[in-house]
Amino acid sequence: MSEVFETEAVVIGAGLVGLACARRLAMCGIDTVIIEAEASIGQGISSRNSEVIHAGIYYRSDSLKARLCVKGKQQLYQYCLDRHIPHQKIGKWVVATSKSELEYLEDLSLRAVTNGVTDTYLIDRNEAIAIEPELKCEAALVSPNTGIVDTQTLMQSFLGDFESAGGVLALNSTVKSIYSEADRFWLNVSDQEDFQLSARYLVNAAGLNAPELTASLSPWGQQFERKFAKGNYFSYQGIVPFKRLIYPVPEPGGLGVHLTFDLAGQARFGPDVEWVDHPEYSVSISKATGFAAAIRRYWPSCNVDLLAPAYVGVRPKIFREGQLVDDFLILGRSSHGVSGLVDLYGIESPGLTASMAIADEVMLHLNLH
């Protein structure tokens, strides 16, 4: 018989959001264990994104993405300042590259204000080109408080807070099955040996695998279909003339092939949207031509020969009754009827920005605030 361990709370998944949730639980004095299948933290969605701190301008005003992005942005910037996490408020422009996109840009400006983002403003073509001479656009929406962050350092800081508060991280540990009994959750876990973990609270922050992990605990989880949106990234091996992030208007499933930088100044473009049956992390050089065409809409001088395959991120997309659920799904007892369980489905962008606010929301669902 496998050994049995008891704790107060278990968080499945040591990505950025899982770490934020576990940190919050442990710092409230709750004995917490993180179960992570990989050999180190943040090996999934958290290490395969644009590392952007978003302002909160894109999302429906009644959505969790809007509310938690705006709240989380403020929390994250303050945390980075307090803990000396490398970050930079580099700013972002969302650009209309044709007159047909001007109306969308104006609507986006209004949505930003509705969402509580009051520092954005529109500039016309002449103003934009005066600042960024190589940019091609009809107008731009300026977001001065969009930033970039060192995600790996941020995750290590969250982990440090968690462990300092007494939390335990179990790596190379795969959850094989879960059942509930006597107001507790029982997890059958496999590392080098099988063991059983019992907890009063369970937070499912397993990223791409979240929907299938807890579907057996209630009929609710079986209503959702998970699909994968692969996003390819290319780095640029030459000089990029821009001083800020440049985004086109969004496309279905993503924010378009945009320009971001890391904190060392390396430029990268992406992601695109490629629907796949299974997560797959190779970047084909054959995509460079399509990338160059997308980039040239706002930067005509982009040289396709200087685009080099960089990395891939895979975003979890959740569908219900055939329709995309274009929001975070943070599901507590009021949704699925299971006391002590919070499921986090479809946590994609702006999950990094909203991570600390998502952790607050989880605590509310667990009645631990």
Query: Residue 247, Cβ neighbours under 10 Å: how many?
Result: 24
Q: For the chain, give every residue range classified as CATH 3.30.9.10.
A: 88-146+226-320
pLDDT at position 77? 98
The topology under which CATH files domain 3-49+152-224+322-365 is: FAD/NAD(P)-binding domain (3.50.50)
pLDDT at position 253? 60
Would you say residue 219 has pLDDT above 80? Answer: no
Would you say residue 179 has pLDDT above 60? Answer: yes
pLDDT at position 193? 83
Strand arrangement, sheet containing 87-88: 52-53, 147-149, 87-88
Cα separation, 355 vs 14, in Å, equals: 12
pLDDT at position 128? 98
Would you say residue 369 has pLDDT above 70? Answer: yes
pLDDT at position 215? 82
Q: For the whole prediction, is pTM greater than 0.85? A: yes
Would you say residue 166 has pLDDT above 90? Answer: yes
Would you say residue 222 has pLDDT above 80? Answer: no
Return mean pLDDT, the chain: 94
Query: Residue 336, Cβ neighbours under 10 Å: how many?
Result: 18
Cβ contacts of 233 within 8 Å, gap of 6 or more: 50, 268, 269, 270, 271, 283, 310, 311, 312, 313
pLDDT at position 254? 65
Confidence grade of residue 223 (pLDDT, cut at 50, 70, 90): confident
Confidence grade of residue 182 (pLDDT, cut at 50, 70, 90): confident
Confidence grade of residue 11 (pLDDT, cut at 50, 70, 90): very high
Cα separation, 355 vs 75, in Å, equals: 9
Cβ contacts of 170 within 8 Å, gap of 6 or more: 33, 34, 35, 36, 189, 191
What percent of the chain is modeled with pLDDT above 90?
87
pLDDT at position 270? 93
Would you say residue 155 has pLDDT above 90? Answer: yes
pLDDT tens digits, one per residue of 282-320: 999 999 999 999 999 999 999 999 999 999 999 999 999
Cα separation, 86 vs 106, in Å, equals: 33
CATH no., domain 88-146+226-320: 3.30.9.10
Q: For the chain, give every residue range classified as CATH 3.50.50.60.
A: 3-49+152-224+322-365
Provide the 8-state DSSP code for 8.
Answer: S
Would you say residue 118 has pLDDT above 90? Answer: yes
pLDDT at position 191? 83
pLDDT at position 252? 63
What percent of the chain is modeled with pLDDT above 70?
98
Would you say residue 175 has pLDDT above 60? Answer: yes
Average pLDDT, integer, range 88-94: 98
Average pLDDT, integer, range 48-75: 96
Would you say residue 72 has pLDDT above 70? Answer: yes
Residue pair 41/158 in contact by the 8 Å Cβ criterion: no
